[in-house]
Each structure stands twice: as C-alpha cells, then as structure tokens.
Amino acid sequence: MQSKIRIVLFLLSFIINYDASFAQKRTFGDFNVVQLRNLIPIKHHDEVIGYCMFYYIDDAKEMYKANYKIILLDADLNKVAEKEIVHLLAISLYEVAYNGTHLLLVFLNSRNKLLDYFQYDLKLNEQSKCTVNLTNREVSFQYAGFPFLLISPHIVPFEDGFAMYSFLRKHGKRKYRITYLSNEGKILWVQENAKEEKKKDVLPVFLAANKDIALNVMRSDVVNGFQYKAYNLKTGKNVFLKEILIEGKKTRAMEALVDSVGNFMVGGLFFENRTDSIGEYPQGFFMATIDPTGNLLRHKLYQWADIQKDKIGLDTNGKYKENGSLVIVKMKALPNSHFLLIGECLEAEIGGVFTSHISANDLILLEVDQAFNIINAHVEEKRSNRSSALISRSSLTNISAFEKLASNSSVVDYKDIHTDSKGFSIFYREQKKIDETGKFWKVLSRQYEEQEYLTDRIQLETQADNTDILTAKAGHLLFVEYFEKDRKLNLRLEKFNY
C-alpha cells in the first residue's frame, strides 16, 4: 500500500517536474517512473543556448511503442517547452541542431534500424519528419562510427534549413548522403557520393559555409583523405572537389572560418606527399586562405621543429621533451579571426596484447593571427593522466592511431573550449581517477587584452553516484549529478573564475 502511495507522490514530483531547490541548481523529477535517456546541449553559433532532455516514461498501449517526453531547457536551465511523443521502443536521441528558429532532433532506433529526423519549432510543434532506413552494419557504423564521425556534426544548421549528413555502408563501400531540409519541412535537394568519389571511400566532414557554399574536407580511416569538397547550398551541386597541395605537401583541414569577403581561412595538419600516408605522422600544421572556387590564395606551413623554439621546442617528429608526441586535439577559430590550436602531449607504452597504456601530459596552446603569425604559445604543465586504450602494439607508431585516441574523451584530458569577443577558456581534466583528493577540473583562460593565462580549479565535491560534465553557456560548465538512491538528477551550473 505504501509503495503505491509512493508512486503517486513520485508522480506528483514528476508533474511538477522540477524545483529550484538551490539557487544555481535544478532538481528533476523522479526516476521510478521516468528515465532520462539523453541530455544534449543545444548550440547556436558555437554558443550553448540550451539543452534537450529526452525521457522514457513508460510503455504505450500500441505494441512495441513507448511514451516519451522531450523537454527543452534554456542555458539557465529554465524549462522552455515540453512535449510527449509516442514512438518505437529502443530509440535514443542522437543529435540536436538549432538554426535560430527551428530544431532538428535525430533519433536512432537500433532495433528497427532507423534514423528519424524530427523538425520542431521552439514550442515543439512538429514541422516535418523523415526517416532513413539502415542495415545492421550501418547501425553499428552509426554507433561505433569512426573517430572523425563521432566528433563531427551530422546536422549542420543554416538560417533557412538544415543539411543532414547521413553515413551509410552499401556493398562494402562507405556512402554518404547529404539532404537539405528547409525550415518549411521540405527536402530541397539530396546529394550522394559523386562518381569521382566512389573509389576513394571517403566521407565529408563539414568545415564552414559562406552565404553560397559549404566547404567540407573528405576524410577516411582507410586512406588519408586530402580532398576538399564544396557544394552549393541552394542546389546541392558540387562547386569543386579537389586536393589542395601546399608547397607540395598534402593538407588535411581541421577547422575553417569565413572571412569578410567570403573566402575560407583553413587550418589543419600537413603530411609528406606519399600515397601510403595512412600511418604517417604529420610534419606540422598549416594555415591557408581558399577562395570560393577552391583556389589557394595564401598559405603558411609550420614545421614542428620551427614552432616557437625558445618556448616549446618540439623535435621534427612533434615530440615534446619527454612528454610524448604533440597531438592536436582541437583547432578552433576564434571570434577575432585568430586560430587556436590545442594540443596534448600523448605518450604510449605497450600494455597487454590488445591494449596500450596512454599517458596524457602537458597541454600546448598556439594562437595564430590573421596574417598567419604565431602570436602566442603556451605550455600548461599538468599532472600526467594514465589510462588504458584498446589499441594494438603495431598502431602505436602512427598519428592516425593517436588521432583516434584524441577523439576518445577517456584518454585525452581536453574537454571543451569557450570563446567570446574578449577571450577564451579551455576546460581540461587534471586528474582522472577518484582518489583521496577527488576529481577536479581546471579552466585555463586568457583575455585577448591581457597576456597572462589564469587557471581556475573546480573541485566537484558530490555525494552523487554518477557524474558528468557538459558544455554550458559562456563562463560556466554544467555538472550533472545522478543520485541512485533518491533516483534524482541534479543539473548544476558552475561559474568559473577568470
């Protein structure tokens, strides 16, 4: 009898849904009756403006279907909208994109092998939906994916719609499909692998778009893809698909931004011009400007050994002191049109037969201005974090293996970067394992006008059984706490000091 009453009372808390029990913290409803499946930050112009929560409520009357609830929160964790939907069992919210007026939610249904795209307005009124059927292998492809697919968006929001990138596998070949969905819910065009791409087995990763075209870099794990692909946003037709060599070196872009006249400023890594470059370690990084037709306007190469010798002192193979090889984990275009490269020094040693021990050591930051000069270099010394990774002995010799590791958040310590017109802040994990001091995060900040770097240490003391850190609005990070006994989820914004 008591347990029933408890059910009723718990439901009451769910109806009320969440209470502001503490000032900068929200407590959400009970998990006896609902389960949070996903909590995904919503970004607009690279800034967190809210979160999308996806709950499973209970099974629906229709066979193989369930009741779900979608809740939208703003960046201050205020509820903006909520909606209940009935959908197939075993779905999870895969990705959320926002273009200023509309939301696109992607659900992956592994049991029925579907990717469902739901387009909503901000009151969560459904505007349109479309479904992509997957094969078994494609489901695992979506889940396991490939490092660069996991870290790149599948939906790119534009003012008047969304470009949806779906990655498929047909007859042993990787395929991609880009579908442009308008804000009115109409599919304007669909683009799939072009004939000239078929043998390359590569997939596009979005870099940047001006008002007419979107620039992508073609990437693959099988061969090092060095091609650039630009398509017209109105028609979906290719504007160019070409390899861009700089001083005879192959380049692979990591980040791009659009300058005031619509050219693309691109930054990334460069390699020797070898055909078997899969296992090749990059020789350094490059900066270049490409016009909308794919012509190289200006460029600069930076060999590892030439970068700020007095401050950093890398060897020709990108090794930093005894702290391992520099792996660029993030390249970020800053609001002042500079580029910031964030690298971690990773050192690998052989562990078991299939595993290796990886130590993540110091962070290295390089800031490049619009004239392609390195204007700031900084080494942030930090405690070494050692972890095991599923990587074979033979793979430890090449950069691709390290890049795979870099996409694995349990190996690298870099977590996120916040930028605004005044400066940037980088989150990283100082200590990964829970020991007597607990785990904590650090924030490394610099204001453009002030040359000094400031470090803030955030000790996340909690009694929660599970915790997670998510990106948040400028100057904050979101700490997610789950209390198993109370079946309660707390979302807490932590303001950092700089």
430 makes contact with other proteins (CB under 8 A) = no
Is position 377 an interface residue for other proteins (rule: CB under 8 A)? no
493 binds other proteins, rule: CB under 8 A: yes
Q: Which of 34, 207, 241, 327 binds other proteins (CB under 8 A)?
A: 34
The binder of other proteins chosen from 35, 44, 46, 484 (CB under 8 A): 44
Query: By C-beta, is 143 or 440 nearer to other proteins?
Result: 440
Rounded to the nearest whole angstrom, what is the least distance from the CB of residue 160 to other proteins in the complex? 16
Burial state string for 400-411 with b = 16 or more CB within 10 A and e = fewer than 16: bbbbbbbbbeeb
Evaluate whether 328 touches 342 at the Cβ level (below 8 Å): yes
Quick one: which segment of 78-86, 280-288, 311-319, 383-391 binds other proteins (CB under 8 A)?
Answer: 78-86
Confirm or reject binding of residue 31 to other proteins (CB under 8 A).
Answer: no
**CA 354 to centroid of chain Cα atoms:** 27
Among 326, 365, 411, 458, which residue sits at the site for other proteins (rule: CB under 8 A)?
458
Does residue 150 touch other proteins according to CB under 8 A?
no
Q: What are phi and psi of 199, to 5 degrees?
A: -80, -10
CA distance 420 to 427: 15
DSSP line for 85-102: EEEESSEEEEEEEE-SSE
Tokens of 229: 């692909």
Does residue 298 bind other proteins (CB under 8 A)? no
Cα 483-486-487 angle, rounded to 5 deg: 70
Cβ neighbours of residue 339 closer than 8 Å, sequence gap 6 or more: 255, 265, 267, 287, 331, 332, 333, 367, 368
Of 322 and 449, nearer to other proteins (C-beta) is: 449
Can you list the positions of beta strands (E) in 369-437? 374-380, 385-390, 414-419, 423-429
Taking the complex as a whole, the smallest distance from the CB of residue 458 to other proteins amounts, in Å, to: 5
Rule CB under 8 A: say whether 20 interacts with other proteins: yes
Write down the least CB distance from residue 69 to other proteins, Å.
Answer: 9
Q: Which residue in the set 24, 337, 410, 466 belongs to the binding site for other proteins (CB under 8 A)?
A: 24
Nearer to other proteins, 78 or 370 (CB): 78
Distance CA 265, CA 259 (A): 7
Is 11 a binding residue for other proteins by CB under 8 A? The answer is: yes
The span from the first CA to the last CA of the chain, in angstroms, equals: 54
Binding residues vs other proteins (CB under 8 A): 1, 4-5, 7-8, 11-12, 14-15, 20, 22-25, 33-34, 42, 44, 47, 49-50, 57-61, 67, 72-83, 98, 101, 122-124, 458-459, 473-475, 492-498
